[in-house]
């Protein structure tokens, strides 16, 4: 995965969210704060989630905006937010959200690279249990 996608400031390891919507808002805020997306992208992430769950397995969800919100993406980026207490995600327990902002043509290869990493149970566990930003940076960029 490209190294410039994940800003260490967008790696948050000890967050709490009462529900799925709050967790997605937290992801959106992280992407806004590193200058990857404009504010309206956050609402588009919530809209996307209402149309279909972004849960992918291994305790991980990948919130991202709708195709109509691509103009709100300033640069392709990821955020990594860990919720150690878990978040109920339509019946699944999510402990990691990887928020995604990727423009036309970038989204599918980025998802494929991310899925490839998460398919390795050891790497997925390291990410779920990460306590240091460096661990996450290593797993998601190598």
Partner 1 sequence: MAQRTVAVASASGLHARPAKLFVQEAARLGVPVTVRLGDKAVPARSMLGVLSLGAVQGTEVTLEADGPGAEEALDALAALLSRDLDADAEPGGNSGAKSGAEEALDA
Catalytic site positions: 64
Alpha helices in 52-120 (DSSP H): 107-118
Q: CA-CA distance, 40 to 54, in Å (whole number)?
A: 19
Minimum Å gap between C-beta 24 and partner 1 is 15
Closer Cβ to partner 1, 34 or 44, answer by number: 44
What are the φ and ψ backbone dihedral angles of 6, each rounded to 5 degrees? -110, 110
Minimum Å gap between C-beta 102 and partner 1 is 11
Minimum Å gap between C-beta 6 and partner 1 is 18
Residues of the shown chain interacting with partner 1 in the complex, contacts defined by CB under 8 A? 47, 50-53, 56-58, 66-68, 70, 107-109, 111-116, 118-119
What are the φ and ψ backbone dihedral angles of 128, each rounded to 5 degrees? -65, -35
């Amino acid at each position: 995965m490209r190294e410039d996608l994940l800003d260490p400031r967008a790696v948050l390891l000890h967050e709490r969210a009462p529900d799925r919507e709050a967790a997605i808002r937290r992801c959106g805020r992280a992407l806004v704060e590193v200058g990857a997306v404009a504010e309206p992208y956050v609402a588009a992430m919530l809209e996307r989630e209402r149309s279909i769950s972004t849960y992918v397995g291994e305790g991980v969800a990948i919130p991202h905006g709708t195709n109509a919100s691509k103009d709100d993406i300033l640069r392709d980026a990821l955020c990594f937010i860990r919720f150690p207490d878990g978040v109920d995600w339509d019946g699944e327990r999510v402990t990691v959200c990887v928020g995604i902002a990727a423009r036309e043509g970038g989204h599918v290869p980025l998802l494929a690279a991310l899925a490839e990493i998460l398919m390795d149970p050891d790497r997925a566990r390291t990410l779920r249990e990460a306590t240091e930003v460096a661990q996450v940076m290593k797993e998601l960029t190598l």
